[in-house]
């Protein structure tokens, strides 16, 4: 099975899993850091944009804490 491409190309992103969805948050494209986020539904093989973070971040970790995805910069 091949996975559909994300809506936004990104690297150095944070990833978390919640309710069987994979969340990709922040990171950077080839030019700038990103505040956007999207989630992947493996049942439908689709990515969907979700609410963006309030600031641009890359080199982050994402963890699930009390039903919330928390994002923190590693450096």
- Distance from C-alpha of 16 to C-alpha of 29, rounded to nearest angstrom: 19
Pairing relationship of beta strands 14-18 and 37-41 according to DSSP bridges = unpaired
Would you state the pLDDT for residue 41? 97
Confidence of residue 48 (pLDDT cuts 50, 70, 90): very high
Mean model confidence pLDDT for the chain: 92
- Distance from C-alpha of 29 to C-alpha of 24, rounded to nearest angstrom: 13
- Distance from C-alpha of 35 to C-alpha of 3, rounded to nearest angstrom: 23
Would you state the pLDDT for residue 75? 63
């Amino acid at each position: 099975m091949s996975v559909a491409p994300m809506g936004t190309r990104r690297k150095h992103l944070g990833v978390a899993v919640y309710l069987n969805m994979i969340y990709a948050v922040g990171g950077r494209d080839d030019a700038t850091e990103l505040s956007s986020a999207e989630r992947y539904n493996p049942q439908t093989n689709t990515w969907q944009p979700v609410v963006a973070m309030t600031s641009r971040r890359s080199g982050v970790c994402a963890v699930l804490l009390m039903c919330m995805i928390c994002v923190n910069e590693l450096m």
